């Protein structure tokens, strides 16, 4: 089954304790992206990656890191989480090139609470 898988789905942590949210897709998509969703603010892009070893900042990259060492994986790293990073996080992927329809496939979301 084609899917984007995020882990963990739920996490409560404390300020300053490094954490990683993993994202993996099995659709051989070149493009992957991370979003955060907050009430009234919609989906805001954190980072995106057009392909392996290529990453770019989105609209709200401060406090986050990403890496793209393999095509299928795109982990989101919070080196020193703060309470303002409490949010619902979505990973998404899509194909690129002439065959791409543009459709984004989202993971199920990871709800992060930073105390």
Partner 1 sequence: GENVEQHPSTLSVQEGDSAVIKCTYSDSASNYFPWYKQELGKRPQLIIDIRSNVGEKKDQRIAVTLNKTAKHFSLHITETQPEDSAVYFCAASLARAGNYQLIWGAGTKLIIKP
Binding site for partner 1 (CB under 8 A): 31, 40-45, 48, 50, 90, 94-104, 106-109
Our CB check for partner 1 shows the closer of 14 and 27 to be 27
Can you give the chain as a three-state secondary structure string? CCCEEEECCEEEECCCCCEEEEEEECCCCCEEEEEEEECCCEEEEEEEEEECCEEEECCCCCCCEECCCCCCECCEEECCCCHHHCEEEEEEEECCCCCCCCCCEECCCEEEEEC
Q: Cβ of residue 77: shortest distance to partner 1, in angstroms?
A: 22
Q: Cβ of residue 88: shortest distance to partner 1, in angstroms?
A: 10
Our CB check for partner 1 shows the closer of 3 and 84 to be 3
């Amino acid at each position: 089954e084609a899917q984007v898988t995020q882990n963990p789905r739920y996490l409560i942590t404390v300020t300053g304790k490094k954490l990683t949210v993993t994202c993996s897709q099995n659709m051989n998509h070149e493009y992957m992206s991370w979003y955060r969703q907050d009430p009234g603010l919609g989906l805001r892009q954190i980072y995106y990656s057009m392909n392996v070893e290529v990453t770019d900042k989105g609209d709200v990259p401060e406090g986050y890191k990403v890496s793209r060492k393999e095509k299928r994986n795109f982990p989101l790293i919070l080196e020193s989480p703060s309470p303002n990073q409490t949010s619902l996080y979505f990973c998404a992927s899509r194909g690129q090139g002439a065959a791409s329809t543009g459709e984004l496939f989202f993971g199920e979301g990871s709800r992060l609470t930073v105390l």
